[in-house]
A and B are shown apart, each in its own frame.
Chain A
Amino acid sequence: MAQAFFGGVHPHDMKAATNEKAIEQLAPPAEVVIPMSMHFGAPCTPLVKAGDPVKVGQKIGEFRGLGAPIHASVSGKVKAVEPRPYSMGGNMMSVVIENDFQDTLSEEVVAPADPDALSVDEMVELVKNAGIVGMGGATFPTHVKISGGIGKVDHVLINGAECEPYITGDHRTMLERPEEIIGGCRYLAKMFGVDKVIIGVEDNKQNGIDAMNKVIAETNAPVVVEPLRCRYPQGGEKQLCQAITGKQVPPGGLPSNIGCAVFNINTTCAIYRAITKGMPVVSKIVTVSGSGVMEPKNIECPIGTPVSLLFDACGGLKDGTYKIIAGGPMMGMAQYTVDVPVGKGTGAMLAFCGKEEQTVEHPQCIRCGKCVAACPVHLEPLFMYQYAEKGMVDELNEAHVMDCMECGACAYVCPARMHLTQMFKTGKQLVKNKAAADKAAAEAKKAKEAKEEKEAVNK
């Protein structure tokens, strides 16, 4: 078994609620709200306007710079193009589509005649047009990762760690659609020109490992499944690279710096569908779970489905639900409304009504050092907290706050219930502000000097 990384925590995985429940298809929603930002990078520009008819898979948002296109997930009529709440907080320009329940497939979706005969460039183009992004939640555009990594990458890793508690979407995919995963791996191996793809899976999903191994044996695929020790954040991209290859990504670097490229399980499935059927990303598997949900389930729904429909499909919420989270409990984002839609990176919707949130009124650090032992980036959260609290920006920067990936392991383990992760988000902003102010001051000084010089010359 691959040795895990240094640090991390081991929360109760809470996966028993949904890991034996097959993925259900949601009854088609009457309306979907598709936000124009579901990827890492600038938001897309809408290509449709109110009143336009759209079909499933039709491109409705085009990206600029770093990003991925966005497609209609249902057929019907565009009702509005307006800002709506979305899961990353605040409002985002969204295309609202009224479903005609016909599921008419767009003419833009064309399956390649012979997927296995495609060149690498053609495959990357298909991935790009399909709007595939990292489905694990980071939502980094996949075609950028592939085209940027070709030639540099000798380890292609598939991230099946699914280390966040509650989430079981990837696990169910391994059980129900192993051939899509392995098929996607084949194409990835071809694109990167490697002879082996490694799937890293935490060892609490033994039946998932077995299901994939069966398909690998049957199809003689160039894929190896590597069981990993259960440890949060095993599914962090850099932690996975370390666990499998033993190499560490340098600070501020990307996995490609050490010759690795990491793809999520469902990203791999999306790549498979894009290359074999030309199908863009129009649906998402969401684990709906948590103490506030009547009947937890794994649900596949069109992108843009309002979250309230997911909860309705699970029997509604219990009284006293005080928190709704898009994503896992460690890194997910708390929502202030259920009017947000499912995006490409929404792997889970959790509702809590129990004692998950354990805050104390006046937390005080007892210096136990448990946060230091838990930090997978090997930082010292307790000192960073003090610097951030006192606004000591230079010290904060020297403590490498910018390396913090906000995984929440330190705050999870803190017996004093300090708001560590929250403080580091603030602290990072302080460092950024200071850097911007310093830069502006330096430029102003330079401009002033240039002006004085000019005046001196004029004299």
Chain B
Amino acid sequence: MTDYKNLKLIATSNPHIRSNETTRSIMLDVIVAMLPALLWAVIWFGMKALTLTAVSVIGCIFWEWLYRKLMKKPQSVGDLSAVVTGMLLAFVCPVTTPYWMILIGGFFSIIVVKQLFGGIGKNFVNPALAGRAFLLGSYAGVMTTWIDAAANKAPLMGAAADIVTAATPLAYMKTGDMEGLKSVYSVADMFLGKTGGSLGEVSAALLLLGGVYLIWRKVINWQTPVAYIATVAVLSFLFPKSGSGLDWMLYSIFGGGLMLGAFFMATDYATSPVTKKGQLIFGIGCGLFTVLIRYFGSYNEGVCYSIMVMNLCVALIDKYTKPTRFGVVKSDKKEAAAK
């Protein structure tokens, strides 16, 4: 029979079982969800899309590893969050971005935005978007050069000086040139991703696919992306700059980084509210700022800055969307307020 005296027992607090989901498995799901869009980028822009993403990922992993090593903190590379940041950073840069530049972007994302504030879960703006904003501020020319992928693919190495470029759909929309836009890109082109733009943002269809996968896997809640996209859709339908409301709406939601932002950026755990109600408000705010920047700002695209602005509102949203604790019914609350 069992030797009960020599059992080595652990006595810890309940619960004694845990769900199988881990930080790592969640990050892995996000990576899987981004793969279709990455595949399209390779087909559409050429192999450079893959090599740039790989360099960005390796860079982010390296910065994370280096910081934790130098600061003598427990190593956190294994949670794969640096891989996600690296992929997202590459996704929001033009495919013609030089490799060294994306490494600098990774440095800013991982070390300045993420690690200096305490690592995963502690950053207050989205690291990948902050990295893009930093690069856009520092190298505006390169960051707004959009290759005409239908005419030529991105060269693997070397300068992108002699490539043929094209205006992005959002550039047409900025000036309200709906006729010009329609003659260049059809709605189907916009949906499938046969347009100019950042590496991973062009294919609305495949990003949508990835987003639905994340919702199905319960990695993200539907509240943020649906509220975000719906807000942009409603506002652009009601207030088209030119052409019909429907056309304007379709080009608005399929154009630019809206799908990428709504499903992969605005849903970042660390920089979005924790309650579903808060996530709904957060999504609406993102949509509002996106439309305002696209209409009235000096940039063509508003997704990056709108999400970063809303990131800063998260603490406020969390404060005012606390769930009502169990047992407190609405009439009680009114009574308490009356007192």
Contacts and interface: CB of A to CB of B under 8 A. Distances in A.
Interface stretch (B19-27, B58-66, B166-174, B296-304): B19-27
Contacts of A376: 326
A322 B8 CA distance: 6
Interface in B140-199: none
Contacts of B70: none
Contacts of A248: 326-329
Which of under 10, 10 to 19, 20 to 34, or 35 or more describes the interface residues of B?
35 or more
B51 to A, nearest CB: 30
A330 B325 contact: no
Contacts of B276: 373
A65 interface: no
A321 B324 CA distance: 42
Interface in B62-109: 74, 76, 81
Given A377-B325, A415-B21, A325 B7 contact: no
Interface string A313-338: 00011000111110001111111111
Given A334-B11, A412-B18, A372 B275 contact: yes
Interface of A: 9, 11, 165, 238, 248-251, 253, 308, 311-312, 316-317, 321-325, 329-338, 350, 352, 356-358, 360-362, 364-369, 372-373, 375-380, 382, 400, 403, 406, 408-409, 411-417, 419, 421-422, 425
A317 B6 CA distance: 12
Contacts of B243: none
Nearest to B268: A367
A159 to B, nearest CB: 17
A334 B12 contact: yes
B4 interface: yes
A262 to B, nearest CB: 15
Given A366-B270, A415-B22, A416-B121, 5 more contacts: A323-B9, A323-B16, A330-B16, A356-B17, A356-B18
B4 A357 contact: no
26 contacts: A165-B17, A249-B326, A250-B327, A251-B328, A317-B4, A321-B7, A321-B9, A322-B9, A323-B12, A329-B14, A329-B15, A334-B9, A334-B11, A334-B16, A356-B16, A366-B26, A366-B81, A367-B269, A400-B325, A408-B14, A408-B15, A409-B15, A411-B15, A414-B18, A416-B23, A421-B14
B62 to A, nearest CB: 20
A368 B269 contact: yes
Nearest to B271: A367
Contacts of A409: 15
B123 to A, nearest CB: 10
Contacts of B332: 250
Interface in B281-339: 322-329, 332
A219 to B, nearest CB: 36
Given A369-B269, A379-B325, A382-B274, A330 B9 contact: no
Given A308-B4, A366-B121, A368-B269, A253 B13 contact: no
Nearest to B326: A377
Contact of B15 (A251, A369, A421): A421
Contacts of A9: 19
Chain B CB within 10 Å, residue with most, of A248, A338, A368, A400 = A368
A202 B4 CA distance: 36
A413 B19 contact: yes
B133 to A, nearest CB: 21
A365 B121 contact: yes
Contacts of B74: 361-362
A308 B270 CA distance: 47
A24 B147 CA distance: 76
B266 to A, nearest CB: 14
A364 B17 contact: no
B245 interface: no
Nearest to B276: A373
Contacts of A249: 326-327
Contact of B7 (A317, A357, A378): A317
B14 A332 contact: yes
B15 A412 contact: yes
